[in-house]
């Protein structure tokens, strides 16, 4: 079996890592654009202050773009790119959850390339500004991935940009920024990281290193999900574990891609406002049933065993207790969801590729909760 591993991000992990290692910013340029969410969480959790202080310490000028909404739109990143161009930014710093980090990556592309939206999604660009990533949620792993996922209203869906050029050059992971994430977002993001490890482990693109990382991420996240289901508030130790596990799971999907849960989850997010991770968690049980039926010899059992589950049903019960019940879908919703998912490129990463009838069945199991 041939495989390739590429993980160029300089990763700094631990409390106080930005101030301790601010020197690495010095090589990145003289002017930065700091990209963050519109809700102000990065002001409250200290991440924005730390990165701005570090930039000041390195005599790097910076401007702030703090308008990124959850599931960022193409329009928002275009506005950010304009600011990056006007301020002549040499690099982009994304601070926040996956949304600001993904926005920072797209801004880094658009600031350097006069391209159409179709060219953006097709990856028709080469030079991009370097990106520094400061994650403040423990879920997406965007701080190390080659993906930027944007909401594109023209196609009524979320769409990925995939390019090695947007893998962040530097990632600062300080668990302290995640200490006060509300429980809802903690659950959403932990399930996202779980789904990355799970889908990545099953992916036809998995390799020995991604498998190691996926199993370790599952081993770490499984017990954390169990505590969340029991309404136990994560302590600082749990938060550190979740941030580390989401980093591992991010490195996994960087090489394997995601698959059916992500492909179908995007419609729950776009049309029904279900947060990204929760949307994946809704679909994982039915996806697993599909894989079990189509590929009885898949290594799926190893995945749920690593996470501490005794059976598919055990995993389904826990995930569904965490996700809650989705809003009802009309037959028209179902048709649209299946149609959209059937066009997703990442279906090809699944060990069995579902056709439209399979996707309809996966959706039916998801809604009926009969595994
Ligand atoms: P998010 O959309 O970045 O943030 C969700 C909410 O959490 C926002 O209201 C945000 O507030 C808040 N928040 C962020 N950090 C916080 C903190 N430390 N304390 C309190 N609140 C905090 O959520 P996410 O789940 O991290 O990212 C989801 C996005 O990432 C989706 O668009 C998804 O498709 C994408 N994604 C990307 C990849 C990839 O490889 N690139 C992989 C998976 C998912 P603010 O408004 O203040 O920011
Ligand atoms: Fe995800």
State pLDDT tens for residues 329-362: 999 999 999 999 999 999 999 999 999 999 999 9
Beta strands 61-68 and 147-152 are: unpaired
Examine the pLDDT at 116 and tell me if it is beyond 90.
yes
Residues with CB under 5 A from ligand 2 (ion): 192
Cα 142 to averaged position of ligand 1 atoms, centre (Å): 10
Cα 290 to averaged position of ligand 1 atoms, centre (Å): 29
Predicted confidence band of residue 18 (pLDDT cuts 50, 70, 90): very high
pLDDT at 296: 86
Locate the ligand 1 atom nearest the alpha carbon of residue 72 and give its number. Answer: 32
- Measured at the alpha carbon of residue 10, what is the angle toward residues 9 and 16, in degrees to the nearest 5? 130
Counting ligands in written order, which one lies closest to the CA of residue 161? 1
Counting ligands in written order, which one lies closest to the CA of residue 101? 1
Predicted confidence band of residue 78 (pLDDT cuts 50, 70, 90): very high
pLDDT at 297: 83
Q: Is the full-model pTM beyond 0.85?
A: yes
pLDDT at 327: 85
Angle between helices 183-202 and 236-256 (to 10 degrees): 40
Cα 38 to averaged position of ligand 1 atoms, centre (Å): 11
pLDDT at 298: 86
Give the binding-site residues of ligand 1, using a 6 Å CB cut-off.
37-42, 45, 70-71, 96-100, 102, 136-137, 139-142, 145, 147-149, 158, 177-178, 180-181, 185, 188-189, 192, 276-277
């Amino acid at each position: 079996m041939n495989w390739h591993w590429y993980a160029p991000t300089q990763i700094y992990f631990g409390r106080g890592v930005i101030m301790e290692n601010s020197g690495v910013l010095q090589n990145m340029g003289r002017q930065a654009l700091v990209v963050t969410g519109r809700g102000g969480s990065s002001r409250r959790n200290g991440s924005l202050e730390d990165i701005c202080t570090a930039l000041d310490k390195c005599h790097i000028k910076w401007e702030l773009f703090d308008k990124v909404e959850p599931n960022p739109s193409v329009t928002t990143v275009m506005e950010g790119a304009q600011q990056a161009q006007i301020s002549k930014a040499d690099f982009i710093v994304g601070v926040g959850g996956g949304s600001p980090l993904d926005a920072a990556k797209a801004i880094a592309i658009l600031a350097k390339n006069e391209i159409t939206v179709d060219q953006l999604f097709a990856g028709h660009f080469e030079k991009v500004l370097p990106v520094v990533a400061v994650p403040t949620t423990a879920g997406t792993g965007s701080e190390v991935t080659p993906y930027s996922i944007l909401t594109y209203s023209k196609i009524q869906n979320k769409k990925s940009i995939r390019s090695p050029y947007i893998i962040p050059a530097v990632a600062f992971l300080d668990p302290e920024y995640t200490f006060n994430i509300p429980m809802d977002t903690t659950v959403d993001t932990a399930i996202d990281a779980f789904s990355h490890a799970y889908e990545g482990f099953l992916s036809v693109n998995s390799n020995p290193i991604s498998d190691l990382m996926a199993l370790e991420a599952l081993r770490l996240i499984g017990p954390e999900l169990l505590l969340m289901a029991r309404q136990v508030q994560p302590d600082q130790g749990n938060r550190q574990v979740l941030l580390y596990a989401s980093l591992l799971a991010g490195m996994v999907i960087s090489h394997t891609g995601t698959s059916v849960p992500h492909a179908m989850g995007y419609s729950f997010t776009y049309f029904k406002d279900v947060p990204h991770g929760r949307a994946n968690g809704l679909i994982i049980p039915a996806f697993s049933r599909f894989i079990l039926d189509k590929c009885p010899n898949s290594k799926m059992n190893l995945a749920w065993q690593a996470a501490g589950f005794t059976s598919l049903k055990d995993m389904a019960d826990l995930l569904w207790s965490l996700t809650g019940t989705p809003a009802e879908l009309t037959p028209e919703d179902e048709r649209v969801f299946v149609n959209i998912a059937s066009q997703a490129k990442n279906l090809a990463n699944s060990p069995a590729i579902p056709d439209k009838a399979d996707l309809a069945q996966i959706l039916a199991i998801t809604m009926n909760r009969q595994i």
